[in-house]
Structure 1
């Protein structure tokens, strides 16, 4: 089998594909990896054949990137230059036999166009987080706004379509339909409705205990555990970090995500909150410029530390709610304070709270006082610690990469 993996975005989008790609290669399949140019080192280290796609890092400074409703449009526009190359790149790589495109959800429109060159091509979608799969069933959040359980499904469907018609379709459909019309294909009226019809197989890369299946998810669908990929599985805290950890009580780790370069207010509030509470902290970000110029001795800055190596040594994790970070904290049994900004983060935060694994604070409501109150509710709370340990006991089972490989192998055998 020949599998062409297509992803975009940050390391959180990349790692699940590396997890699957390595398993496919171990089973003897040919694997080609298409992704943003800046991820070449990760893919090369995983031993996979990499084909870089253009990516403009300036998108990280776009003022609406982390907006609750406008953020998706920013991501869509930023990824289209790379996705426009997908049909020609895939046509050049396709061996013509038993080929599967395994793609990020936002690559599904271009994956559909790839079928024009070879109608027998199979397309599989990887849904990285529950909110990637629009549904009218509970729990339902439209951005940061929860929909009450008593709202009928018909009204929920209307709400979804209204939100998409205002914030998504005006950005996505003009270019998508121009590309389709140029190839003699009919126009698309709703991006959300359309992409559900594209894949021959859907892979939900999160366990049922985190988000159970609902009737309106696309079919056929296979649900896995979290794809917890470690780029450096033997990593350990370096000497400076080890010395900091040994110097006092377990600290609280703060990370707004590796791709967030707009977290100055977040770190300022965190600095004041931990200082007032007498807590130690680790600030985890590759962008030092967004931290206060001078940090007290009780706060340690690190540009990157694998969470698997760090979380066993900390009191809590404060993070943005990316699905990969959320899964790592669940695996480690670490209490979480989720501070969501956009995209899938609000839904992930709500599920963490529903599981009893932590608390949530909307990023736009962050102040030192509110962050301090939220931290007080999770740090040193014995009941929360017991619940997190219970979740960790079954979260560590993780995903089964070979089972996903089997699903893809079965897919190529279908008529």
Structure 2
């Protein structure tokens, strides 16, 4: 089960296809808008309708309130898991590989069918809370000198104030209907549900922490291109041939509240005389009358586009971040909410880019960072060294083996 945007979908598709190659039957549950991707891959798809009005909710990209918006918006998708599983033949062994936002529903499935096993797919390090360094809690970076007791207190406060009021009321109602005891703590509960936790990022990007759930298996970034043979549009081919390598600007496929990013990026790039490609399916957030030095495209696979580019300005989603690391390009991360702050901090720590929180975005700051990143010899050296690690990546055999060996 995948929940969220294309960045959440593609890693699960990559694993699903690897499992199918091994002869396993795959059923894929996801938001209905992902049907073309899943059916194109030849997998049995079970779509769930999602109200896309949530994309216009101004709290969606708020550092504090974003989780609540996402949780409420995804309950309909996650709720589809239980009736689907209940309809499966009881005699058929079944493993659920789910996004962390569906762990509570997966646990309800296991209550109905105790033989079911659950694996959680954690796409980014910040999906797994820890009291160890590096500790980034939204826009707050906790200094290394803060003792662990204080860090545990911070997590308790975060859970009690932001998570429990959102998660527990609906979850406890569902548990009560099935004769299950109520929960008092959402954070502690959710990370004890899975029989196996998959960290779908390499240890060099986010090393295993002592307080992460076990058993846990690290994988490489399971990057997926839905149509690697798709040709560029004629206008993109002409644009790339007409001048120097451009800077890619993208706030992600699900963000239609990024007008300020495109506005600041346009001003900064024009002042520096740089060319750019603006990527977004939502053209309404673009500045009017883009100059000839800037091309808008609704979607281009990053894996194919990035080798033609000089750098990227993006939101810090884990899929975009990983694609840029693979391409060996310097990057500027403009985090809004969710895992983006932590991903940006890791990009900075790797020496391949810089971070400018959306709340501090200005043309002058962005222009300064862009000049620094593009002129830095060390950024290029570090970026190429990171890209070389992708050439050495293993396949998904260890992930598939771990999933198929879960005791049933």
TM-score (norm 1): 0.96
Q: For residues 180-215 of structure 1, give each alpha carbon's deviation from its aligned partner in whole angstroms, at most 9, with x where no partner exists.
A: 111111111121100111000011000000011111
Structure 2: how far apart are the matches of 1:378 and 1:205? 28
Q: How does 1:301-380 map to 2 (within 5 A)?
A: 301-380=296-375
Q: Distance in 1 between matches of 2:339 and 2:394?
A: 20
Q: What's 1:229 paired with?
A: 224
What is the 5 A alignment of 1:136-215?
136-215=131-210
* 2:53 paired residue number: 58
Equivalent residues of 2:197, 2:216 under 8 A apart: yes
Following superposition, the deviation at residue 399 of structure 1 comes to 5.4
Counterpart pick for 2:71 among 67, 71, 76: 76
User: 1:127 matched to which residue of 2?
Assistant: 122
Distance, in Å, in 2 between the alignment partners of 1:185 and 1:337 is 47
Of the candidates 93, 100, 107, which is equivalent to residue 98 of structure 1?
93
8 Å contact 1:315–1:380 — kept in the other structure? no
8 A Cα contact 1:124 1:203, kept in partner? yes
Q: Which residue of 2 aligns with 1:113?
A: 108
- Runs of 5+ consecutive residues of structure 1 not aligned to the other structure: 1-5
RMSD in angstroms over aligned alpha carbons?
1.1
| Matched position secondary structure for 2:28 | strand
Q: Relative to structure 1, is the Cα distance of residues 20 and 94 closer, same or farther in structure 2, using a 3 angstrom cutoff?
A: farther
Q: Is the 8 A contact 2:328 2:383 kept in 1?
A: yes
Structure 1 residue 395 corresponds to structure 2 residue 380? no
Distance 2:296 2:72 in 1: 33
Q: How far apart, CA to CA, are the structure 1 residues paired with 2:89 and 2:318?
A: 31
- When structure 1 is superposed on structure 2, of 81-90 and 43-52 the one drifting more is 81-90
Give the aligned length.
408
Q: Point out the more displaced range, 60-69 or 371-380.
A: 371-380
Q: Deviations over 1:294-334 (max 9, x none)?
A: 00000010100000111111110111000000000000001
The Cα shift of 1:234 comes to 2.2
Contact map agreement 1:320 1:345 (CA 8 A) in 2: yes
Contact 1:32 1:48 (8 Å CA) reproduced: yes
- 1:283 to 2:284 alignment: no
* Distance change in 2, residues 1:280/1:90 (3 Å): same
List, as ranges, runs of 4+ consecutive aligned residues in structure 1 with deviation greater than 6 Å: none
Once the two structures are superposed, the pairs formed by residues 241-280 of structure 1 within 5 Å of their partners are: 241-280=236-275
Tell me which residue corresponds to 1:3: none
Unmatched segments (≥5 aa) in structure 2 = none
Report the CA distance between 1:351 and its aligned residue: 0.3
Give the distance between the partners of 1:185 and 1:389, measured in 2 at CA.
52
Report the Cα distance in structure 2 between the residues aligned to 1:24 and 1:95, rounded to whole angstroms. 21
Report SS of the residue matched to 1:115.
Answer: helix
Equivalent-residue separation in structure 2 for 1:248 and 1:368 (angstroms): 24
Task: Give distance in 2, aligned partners of 1:94 and 1:325.
Answer: 39
Contact kept in structure 1, 2:351 and 2:378, CA below 8 Å: no
Offset, 1:396: 3.5
The separation in 1 between residues aligned to 2:214 and 2:49, in whole angstroms, is 32
Cα distance in 1 for residues equivalent to 2:238 and 2:159: 50
Q: Deviation digits for residues 124-181 of structure 1, max 9, x if unmatched?
A: 0000100000000000011110000011111101101101211111111100011111
